[in-house]
Amino acid sequence: MKSETSGGGHLLLFFAIAFGWAWLFWVPEALRQAGLIEIPAALVTLHAEGQPAAWGPLIGAIVVALLQNGYQGLKDLLASMVRVRFSSWWYLVAVALLPAIVGLAQLAALLTGEEVPASPALAEPISIPIAFIFIFFLAGPLQEEAGWRGTATSALQTRMNALFASLVTGAAWGLWHLPLFFMTREDIYYNRPFWGLLISAILLSVLFTWVYNNTRRSLFAAMLIHTSWNWSNYLFTGLLTDTGGLTFMVLLTATVVIVVLGFGPKTLTRPSVT
């Protein structure tokens, strides 16, 4: 398989843009919330409502694609983002696998008697499909996957096997979120252990690459599984409990091990995938 952004010459540039753009917004806001600096009210509103920081990976991916292959590079990147023709099996995996894992983790928490916070999604079921669409376009997948999978993982796979490429990308992806852990309004990050997100990002990165590689490097497929991950955390709140969080880590690790053993670390694909 040929990468949409093959080669590693611009990998550092991608990371510089992805981190630089996001942290340009996130770090000052974290410092403001810590009472260390003052920033204009308009910028506070922009950060809270516009979420411009999250677009860093997509901006980096576009810049790298243009620098490497000009208009054709950008065309290839965009084509991957709308590559919707792949096996229905991979649609099922992309949409259902992670919600199933998160749901089982919540069930474990309930069975052990832990108090699970109420789910806003289950309180308003009509919001569930709407949330999936919102998340796809405005809460991570569209903003990030062209960068993490389409640029970073693709470039790294020209240097190392798919497993190691996924681990490196996952570590970078996790680290990218670091400033959010110092913002009080970021409820899913603030006052929570960073190592939990970092390990999750590394393991999830393997699964995202697995889906990406097995769908002829469809960024649409990568965006789907990224959406299902964020969506599952909207549906279920069990990961906020000790038992739920631990069970999730065990199940996620077991799933990654099964995938690596079953598909092989070199490409994470069956031989028929090209």
Q: How confident is the model at residue 1 (pLDDT cuts 50, 70, 90)?
A: very low
For residue 64, is it within any domain? yes
Give me the pLDDT at residue 273, please.
53
Does any domain span residue 269?
A: no
For position 58, what pLDDT does the model report?
Answer: 98
Q: Residue 69 gets which letter from DSSP?
A: H
What DSSP string runs through 24-44?
HHHHHHHHHHTTS----HHHH
**CA 219 to CA 184: how far, in whole Å?**
32
Using CA atoms, how far apart are residues 248 and 105, in angstroms rounded to an integer? 5
The listed range with the strongest mean pLDDT (46-60, 180-194, 218-232) is 218-232
- The answer to whether residue 272 sits within a structural domain is no
Quick check: is 87 in a domain? Answer: yes
Average pLDDT over residues 128-154: 97
Confirm whether 35 is domain-assigned.
Answer: yes
Measured over the CA atoms of residue 43, residue 48, residue 52 and residue 57, the dihedral's sign is positive
Residue 271 included in any domain: no
CA–CA dist 183, 109 (Å, integer): 27
Q: What is the mean pLDDT of the chain?
A: 92
The number of distinct structural domains making up the chain is 1
Which of 30-44, 112-126, 251-265 has the highest average model confidence (pLDDT)? 251-265
In the block, tokens 């009472």 appear at 35
5 occurs within a structural domain? no
Task: Confirm whether 2 is domain-assigned.
Answer: no
Q: In the predicted model, what is the mean pLDDT of residues 230-254?
A: 95
pLDDT of residue 19: 98
Token pair, residue 243, equals: 């038992």
The residue-averaged pLDDT of 138-154 equals 97
Burial of 199 (0-12, 13-18, 19+ CB in 10 A): middle
Residues 228, 94: Cα–Cα separation, whole Å: 7
pLDDT at 4 over 80: no
pLDDT score recorded for residue 50:
63
Average pLDDT of the segment spanning 230-234: 95
Q: Is 7 left (phi over 0), alpha (psi -120 to 50) or beta?
A: left
Contacts of 65 (CB under 8 A, 6+ apart): 4, 5, 73, 74, 76, 77, 151
> Measured between alpha carbons, how far is 51 from 37 in angstroms, rounded to an integer?
20
Burial of 252 (0-12, 13-18, 19+ CB in 10 A): buried
**pLDDT tens per residue, range 82-108:** 999 999 999 999 999 999 999 999 999
Residue of higher predicted confidence among 238 and 192: 238
In this prediction, residue 45 carries a pLDDT of 74
What does the pLDDT read at residue 49? 64
Cα(183)–Cα(211) distance, rounded to whole angstroms? 32
| Cβ contact 125:113 at 8 Å | no
Domain that holds residue 105: 11-263
Whether pLDDT at 128 is above 80:
yes
Q: In which band, very low, low, confident or very high, does the pLDDT at 274 lie, cut at 50, 70 and 90?
A: very low
| pTM greater than the 0.85 cutoff | yes
User: Cβ(208)–Cβ(222) under 8 Å?
Assistant: yes
